[in-house]
Chains A and B, each alone.
Chain A
Amino acid sequence: MASAGRGFLYNEKVHQLLKGFIVVSANTQDQSVPDHAEFRELLKKIGVTDAKGSLGDVLGSQGAGNVYFILLDPQGEIVHYWGLTSIDELAKGVAKLKAPPPPVEESQAKLTLPDLCASSDPGVPSGLRLFFRARGEAGWNANAMTIVQPVPMKADEWKALSYSDRPREIDAEFFRACVTEIFPGAIRAASSPRAPGFASKLPGTLKLEPAGSDEKFRYALLHGPVQLFYTRSLGNKAEPSEPKFSGTLQAVVKYGLTTPEVHSLRGMIDGNYLYMPGPNGTFKMTAAVESRPE
């Protein structure tokens, strides 16, 4: 579990100290992150030489958590690093900077949300983006924290939603990558569907129905059940009897007047995520879903 780091970044004092900073997320283990190798080079400067090593190895009892912070100067040189979500440590790091960051212009004070790169095919969206938070009863604080998760998609995948002037069914599989991301923050990493070794499937169909047009666009309604099943490729190979996520999808799909390609999509996925059997093991999840870019 790793909720503390996220919670730390919600703190108002932290926001004050980080005015004028560039903030970025990194992962010490996940090699699928594009600039992971570059980040590992930075870790070496701190003394993390093992390919699987983490900052905790260097920090000892000071790095007991699983979220670490590294403060760099504008030239990318390490100024300070620490392993606990301590405002004092952040303040120490800020004090070590040779000069305070330049002030932030009001025009720059906007939200910077996780997003997708432009599509290789400008005629279709680059992917989908989810906004959600868990609503379970289990008590860790991260439940209330919002997750904003982009889900890249290939241009070819969008063909499944091409406009039709007749109602038709499409494979729910279109949303598999998207539904796979709908799980609470701060659950055990090895239990999440993003952990290595998981295979998933989203069987069934959704209904796509034309819903009129206006001067600029045509519209369609997309709706139906979504049930995500996943199994580990190692260990238990039995087909699961219960879906890991079970819910419904409702969306409005927008098209150009003369072209069948999807222009954009907006909707919601509402359902339950089964974290573990027993009380408090199921999370109510409701996600807003949108295509990007709009």
Chain B
Amino acid sequence: MKAGAFFIPVALAFLFHGSLAHAQNRRGGNPPEPPTLKGKVAAYEADASITIETKVRGGQTNKTEFTIVKGKTQIELGAGVKAIEVGITASVWAEKDTPKVAAKVVAEPEPPTVKGKVVAYEADSSITVETPAGRGREAGKVEFSIVKGKTRIELGGGAKAIEVGMTVSVYADKDNPKAAAKILAQGVAPGGRGRGGSGAAPADKGENPKPDAPKAEDAVDAKKVLAAYDSLKRECDLRVYQLRWAQNYKEAKEVAAKENRPILISASGNMHGNTFTGHT
């Protein structure tokens, strides 16, 4: 398969990043086992325990504690999550035999308040994000103030700076919903579209974490990786492989006898060496 043929589906995959992953799960395939519990982390002690808070009817909350066993409980941090902390959303899979012990804990990426295209941006001042129409929601523009030294800006997907036209996720300040606590820039996806789609994200209710929330720390871009791979291969001088090489001496003798061709053996006298691969 040619590199280009591989590249296109990946580029497409990024255009539809997230939604297709969800769609695939909906279609069946190999859906992951659901967690025992998802909710806000109410308490956490590394290598000891984690308490998950979940909402129940009537606005009440339940707290469930799981034991964490060092070297046994698997901890996974979602994109952009540096550590498990009180207040973040986490999923816990309990041990089948000992339900009070966590087999796996996954810290979920926090969904943004708004995700969309930047239509206006002034450094250390404000950002306006355009959110397209979605299910039960009209298109609109949302402006957030940017507070120097307080609003955290993270650049991912190869983005060098926030620019008009790129896709960003904005996390509002909990105490001041009109101010941005954090802005994640995802760069521009293959084809010029913002990566990861766009649209306003629902407020985090602590019970429906979004595994496909933006990749905050994702500085690796699939398109660039595949382009670099392709470019590296193309710049290699492969003239030596225009010769009719056999993979080994045995194969050379078989092909030579069958096709009535002479053989040239290029023998290395080093302790190891192979003029075919080039590691002579």
CB neighbors of B among A117-141 (8 A): 131-133
Residues of A within 8 A of B24 (CB): 213, 218, 257
A150 to B14, CA, bound (A): 30
> Which residues between 32 and 87 of chain A lie within 8 Å of chain B, taking CB atoms?
32-35, 38-39, 42, 54-56, 65-76, 79
A167 touches B78 (CB 8 A): yes
CA distance A79 to B263 in the complex (A): 10
Task: Tell me whether B270 and A250 are in contact (CB under 8 A).
Answer: no
Among residues of B, the one whose C-beta sits closest to the C-beta of A196 is B271
Known: A2-B273, A35-B250, A113-B241. A149 touches B267 (CB 8 A): no
- Contact partner of A18 (CB less than 8 A), chosen from B230, B243, B280, is B243
How far does the alpha carbon of A73 sit from the alpha carbon of B261 in the complex, in Å? Answer: 7
The reply to whether the CB of B17 lies closer than 8 angstroms to some CB of chain A is: yes
Cross-chain contact A287 with B232 (CB below 8 angstroms): yes
Given contacts A67-B268, A268-B228, A290-B229, contact A167 B76 (CB under 8 A): yes
Could you tell me how many residues of chain B have their Cβ less than 8 Å away from some Cβ of chain A? 80
Taking residues whose C-beta sits less than 8 angstroms from the other chain, chain A's interface range is 35 or more
CB < 8 Å neighbour of A26 from B29, B218, B242, B267: B267
Taking CB atoms, residues of chain B closer than 8 Å to A181 are 279
Q: In this complex, what residue of A is CB-closest to B13?
A: A212
A221 to B278, CA, bound (A): 30
Q: Is there contact, CB below 8 Å, between A114 and B78?
A: no
Is the C-beta of B272 less than 8 angstroms from some C-beta in chain A?
yes
- Given known contacts A68-B269, A74-B257, A250-B225, is B232 in contact with A258 (CB within 8 Å)? no
Q: Within the assembled complex, what's the spacing in Å between the Cα atoms of A26 and B250?
A: 11
Q: How far, in whole Å, are A21 and B262 apart by their CA atoms in the complex?
A: 5
Contact between chains at B20 and A214 (CB < 8 Å): yes
Q: Interface segment, B1-9, B46-54, B163-171, B199-207?
A: B1-9
Contact A195 B271, CB 8 Å, known A25-B266, A111-B242: yes
Closest Cβ–Cβ distance, residue A245 to chain B (whole Å): 14
Between A and B, how many residue pairs show CB distances below 8 Å? 333
Kindly state whether residue A244 has any CB partner on chain B within 8 Å. Answer: no
A223's closest neighbor in chain B, by CB?
B220
B277 in contact with A114 (CB, 8 Å): yes
Partner-binding segment picked from A186-194, A228-236, A272-280: A186-194
Interface members, chain A 176-217 (any B CB < 8 Å): 181, 183, 185-186, 189-190, 192, 194-196, 209-217
Q: In the assembly, what is the distance between CA of A221 and CA of B158, in Å?
A: 14
Option from B13, B16, B244, B275 in Cβ contact (under 8 Å) with A5: B275
Q: A24 and B266: CB pair below 8 A?
A: yes
Residues of chain A with a CB closer than 8 A to B14's CB = 211-212
Cβ contacts A to B, 17 pairs, < 8 Å = A24-B252, A24-B265, A26-B268, A27-B274, A39-B249, A39-B265, A66-B268, A70-B264, A72-B264, A97-B262, A133-B237, A167-B78, A169-B76, A219-B222, A221-B222, A221-B225, A250-B225
Please report A residues at the B interface, Cβ cutoff 8 Å. 2-3, 5-6, 9-10, 15, 18, 20-30, 32-35, 38-39, 42, 54-56, 65-76, 79, 90, 94, 97, 101-102, 104, 108-109, 111-115, 131-133, 142, 144-150, 165-169, 181, 183, 185-186, 189-190, 192, 194-196, 209-219, 221, 223, 250-252, 254, 257-260, 264, 266-268, 286-290, 294
